[in-house]
Structures are given as C-alpha cells and as structure tokens.
C-alpha cells in the first residue's frame, strides 16, 4: 500500500532571489480566511470560437497574501505580474492553456509568522480544488500533503517557511503538467532600496511560467525537465540551471530595464553579474571563479556544487550565454525555441535555432569570456 504513495515528490524549484536587507516589520498578525485576496479576472470565453486566442481568455490568478505584506508591495507585485503577462504570455507560440491558474503566494521576507499562518489557508484551498479521492494527485505530491513521503521532503524545504525559519525564496513551486496549476511563491524585497527586485524577480518567475507552458507531451516532471534542457550537464542525471535560468535571468534584467526606460540599469546589472567581487566568493567575481575552477557552465547544478561554485553562477553566467546568443541570433530565437521542445527535445531544438550543438557553442562562449572586459560588455543590447 505504501508504495502507492511513493510518487515524485520533488517540486519544480526555480530559485531566484536577490537578498535585500531586512527592516523589521514584525507584528505577527494572523491572516484570516476573509483576508485572502482573490483576484480572478477570467473573461467570458467567446461562444463562437472555442479556440483560445489570448491569455486574457484564460486569465485566472488567485492571490494568497501574507497578512504583514504592505499595500505597496501588493500593488507592485500586481503591476509587474501584468507587465510580465503582456511581455511573455502574448508570445506567438505560448501554450495559453498551461499559463493558468496561477496561485500567487506573496510572503513577507521579514515575517515568518504571517507565512506560517498563510500555509494552511493555501493548503486547504489546494485540497478543495485539486485533491482527487483515491488518486495520487497534485495535492498528495505537494508539500501540503501529510503523508510520510512528502514529510521527508518537507523537512528539507518548507513550503512557505524553510525548516530553519527562513522565508521561502521566490520560485515556481509546481509543475503545471502534473499539477494543473502554477504556484508562484514571491518573497517581498525591502522598499524603497530594493524596489527593482520586486520588478525583475517577478519578471523572472513569470518567464518560467511562460517557458514551462510549452511542454504538452508529458506530465512526468523528470520528462518535462529533460525537455526544458535541465539535464544538459556532462552527467545526464544532474539538474543544471544554466539554460533555463540563464534565459529567465537575461529576460528579467533586460525587460526590467526596458520597462523603466533605463538600459544602463541592464548593463550595470549584467556587468556586475559577471565582474563584481563578492565576499561569498572570497572577494572574487563569478567570472574569476568560473575560470579558476575550470568548471563548465553546464555542469553547475542547483545543489551540491563544490565550493565556491554555487548555482547563482549558473544563473548569472547563464544569462551572459543567452546575451551572447542574442547578439548573434536575436531574442526571438530564444523565445521561439520552447515551441520546438515537444517534438525535437532540447538538444536538437538548440541546433535548429542556433546552427551548432550547445557544447560547441559553450566552448566558443568560454573563448569570448577571455576577451578584454570592454569587448565583452560591447555585445549587450542597448535597446
């Protein structure tokens, strides 16, 4: 009987956070059911035409807001969600049916009590909406489930609060193919100093929903990952962020800059991503770490990297790889590739779009990274 429950419990964890300093807002208010903000703006489908033509036809976003999140944060979140939808959910090959519903959980980075209070409210909703009797379903495979196997996973990562008491990072924590919904956990960033993070992190996570939507050929999480290029390291069992996260990071940076009409923001962010020295890397830059360790970009994993490598190097230098491709082929080639995955898989799709296999392209990219800094910076788009 027990084996019946041993199904995949790992969730799609697409981490992304920019740590901002915490001011202490800590009144520990508990959220009641009535305070859940439910914003559903589905429009009536067109009777004459059954095919969905716009994301607006399917638009269903349900917000779960921790009680200590400020109105200002909520407004920013909703603004950037709407901007992301306009940018990504209008792309020609997006699979609209997989974009919604989005369950958008907004947590207060400085208040774990309000996050803990929100979790049972969310889980109850999930149980009502998605639990199917006698069938292993998305509720069972989420961390809301209270069976032994999910609990084991839960002890490593909480749903809204980590076991060590930290608030969960911003992430897409579901697989739409398996679960039938997109769970977007968003963590606040301190205002006003980290207002930009509220923008580009929201763009980043919404870009993941866009990417993931394209897979329609399987409901198996591992298969979805494979199609998305997440098993593209030398060890095909490693889950690697460079490609999937690199694209989300690149577009979140450039589209944030375009939206605020300041392309210098993009250039500064990209420059720092590569060249700024950080304490955590022993006062070295990500580029220095990459070169000194000789680790290949596509071998950096989400977890379990040898010090001082961490997944953030995969994200940020991955974004540079995408910038490198964009410089040669344009952004549409990146935005279009997802629609090829179902039929051709990641490797073949990459070759079709960019004319070489990704390993060859990565070798060229490493040579590019040996150029003088001003030459490297030159490839970044100014518009």
Question: Which of residues 98 and 312 has its CB atom nearest to Zn ion in the complex?
Answer: 312
The least distance separating Zn ion from the CB of residue 377, rounded to whole angstroms, comes to: 24
E strand residue ranges, the chain: 61-65, 102-107, 171-172, 182-187, 277-278, 284-285
Question: Over the range 295-309, which residues count as b (16 or more CB within 10 Å of their CB) and which as e?
Answer: bbbbbbbbeebeeeb
Choose, by CB under 5 A, the member of 16, 203, 206, 221 that binds Zn ion: 16
**Nearest residue to Zn ion on Cβ basis:** 14
Token duo for residue 122:
């969310």
Separation of CA 214 from chain center: 15
Instruction: For residue 17, state whether it binds Zn ion (rule: CB under 5 A).
Output: no
- Identity of the residue, 16 or 176, whose beta carbon is nearer to Zn ion in the bound complex: 16
Q: What is the 3-state secondary structure (H, E, C) of 97-119?
A: HHCCCEEEEEECCCCHHHHHHHH
- Residues of this chain, 216-245, that bind Zn ion according to CB under 5 A: 245
Residue 241 Ramachandran class (φ > 0 left, ψ -120 to 50 alpha, else beta): alpha
User: Within its chain, how far is the Cα of 213 from the centroid?
Assistant: 12
Task: Considering the complex, state which of residue 31 and residue 94 has its C-beta at the smaller distance from Zn ion.
Answer: 94
Site string for Zn ion, 243-262 (x = CB under 5 A): --x--x--------------
Pick 111 or 175: Cβ nearer Zn ion: 175
Among 14, 17, 197, 211, the residue binding Zn ion under the rule CB under 5 A is: 14
From the CB of 207, what's the least distance to Zn ion, in Å?
8
Q: Could you tell me how many residues of this chain bind Zn ion (CB under 5 A)? A: 4
Whether 285 contacts 278, CB under 8 Å: yes
Annotate each residue in 49-88 with x if it binds Zn ion (CB under 5 A) or - if it does not, as one string.
----------------------------------------
Query: Which residues contact Zn ion (rule: CB under 5 A)?
Result: 14, 16, 245, 248
């Amino acid at each position: 009987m027990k084996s019946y429950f041993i199904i995949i419990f790992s969730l799609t964890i697409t981490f992304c956070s920019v740590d901002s300093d915490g001011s202490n807002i800590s009144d520990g208010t508990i959220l009641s059911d009535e305070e859940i903000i439910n914003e559903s703006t589905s429009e009536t489908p067109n009777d004459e035409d059954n095919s969905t033509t716009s994301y607006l036809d399917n638009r269903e976003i349900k917000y779960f807001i921790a009680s200590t999140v400020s109105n200002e944060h909520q407004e920013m979140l909703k603004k950037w969600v709407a901007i992301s939808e306009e940018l990504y959910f209008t792309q020609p090959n997006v699979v609209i049916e997989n974009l919604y519903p989005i369950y958008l959980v907004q947590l207060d980075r400085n208040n774990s009590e309000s996050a803990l209070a929100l979790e049972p409210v969310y889980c109850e909703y999930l149980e009502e909406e998605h639990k199917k009797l006698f069938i292993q379903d998305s509720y069972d495979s989420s961390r809301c489930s209270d069976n032994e196997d999910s609990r084991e996973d839960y002890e490593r990562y909480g749903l809204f609060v980590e076991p060590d008491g930290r608030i969960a990072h911003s992430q897409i924590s579901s697989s739409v193919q398996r679960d039938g919904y997109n769970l977007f956990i968003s963590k606040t960033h301190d205002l006003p100093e980290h207002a930009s993070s509220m923008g580009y992190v929201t763009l980043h996570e919404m870009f993941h929903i866009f990417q993931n939507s394209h897979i329609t050929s399987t409901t198996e999480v591992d298969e979805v990952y494979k199609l998305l290029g997440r098993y593209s390291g030398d060890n095909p069992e490693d889950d690697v962020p460079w490609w999937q996260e690199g694209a989300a990071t690149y577009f979140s940076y450039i589209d944030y800059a375009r939206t605020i009409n300041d392309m210098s923001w993009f250039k500064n962010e990209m420059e720092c991503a590569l060249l700024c020295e950080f304490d955590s890397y022993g006062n070295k830059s990500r580029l220095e770490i990459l070169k000194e360790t000789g680790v290949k970009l596509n071998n950096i994993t989400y977890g379990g990297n040898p010090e001082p490598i961490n997944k953030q190097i995969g994200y940020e230098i991955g974004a540079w790889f995408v910038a490198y491709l964009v410089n040669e082929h344009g952004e549409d080639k990146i935005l279009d590739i997802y629609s090829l995955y179902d039929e051709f898989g990641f490797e073949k799709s990459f070759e079709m779009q960019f004319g070489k296999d990704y390993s060859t392209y990565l070798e060229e990219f490493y040579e590019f990274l040996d150029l003088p800094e001003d030459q490297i910076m030159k490839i970044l788009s100014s518009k």
